[in-house]
Amino acid sequence: MHTPSKAFSRPEVAAAKPKAAARMRRKSMPPREPQLYRPHAQRPIRAKAHVLEHDEDIHAHSHAWGQVTFSIGGAVRINTERATYLLPPSRAVWIPPHIEHAVTAVERADLRSLYLHQSDQCQGPGLPIEQAQAWKECRVIEVTPLLRELVLQLATDPNAAHQDALAEEAPTAREQCIISLVQDELQRARSLRLGVDLPQDKRLRRLCEVMLLEPQRHADLDAWAAEVGASTRTLSRLFRQELDSSYAQWRQQVLLARALTLAARKQPMNLIAAELGYASASAFSAMVTRTVGMPPSRFFAEA
Other CB atoms within a 10 A radius of the CB of residue 26 amount to 13
CATH topology for the 25-192 domain: Jelly Rolls (2.60.120)
Any idea where the domains of the chain sit in the sequence? Answer: 11-21+203-302, 25-192
Cα–Cα separations (whole angstroms), residue 87 to 18, 68, 125: 24, 12, 20
Asked if residues 85 and 138 have their Cβ atoms less than 8 Å apart, the reply is: yes
260-294 pLDDT tens trace: 878 877 888 889 988 888 889 999 888 888 877 77
Asked if residues 59 and 30 have their Cβ atoms less than 8 Å apart, the reply is: yes
Query: What value does the mean pLDDT of the chain take?
Result: 85
- Pairwise pLDDT comparison (193 vs 38), residue with the higher score: 38
- Output the pLDDT for position 266: 80
Locate all alpha helices (DSSP H) within 168-245, ordered by sequence. 173-188, 202-213, 221-228, 232-243
- Pairwise pLDDT comparison (3 vs 280), residue with the higher score: 280
pLDDT band at 302 (very low <50, low <70, confident <90, very high): low
Lowest-pLDDT range of 101-105, 109-113, 139-143, 292-296: 292-296
Which residues face 80 on adjacent strands? Answer: 101
Other CB atoms within a 10 A radius of the CB of residue 75 amount to 24
State how far the Cα of 126 lies from the Cα of 43, in Å rounded to an integer: 11
53-94 pLDDT tens trace: 988 999 999 999 999 999 998 888 999 999 999 888 888 999
Percentage above 70 pLDDT, the chain: 87
Cα–Cα separations (whole angstroms), residue 100 to 117, 152, 203: 17, 26, 20
Amino acid type, 220:
D
State how far the Cα of 77 lies from the Cα of 232, in Å rounded to an integer: 28
**CATH annotation of 11-21+203-302:** 1.10.10.60
- Pairwise pLDDT comparison (261 vs 141), residue with the higher score: 141
230: Cβ–Cβ under 8 A, 6 or more apart, which residues? 5, 7, 8, 9, 10
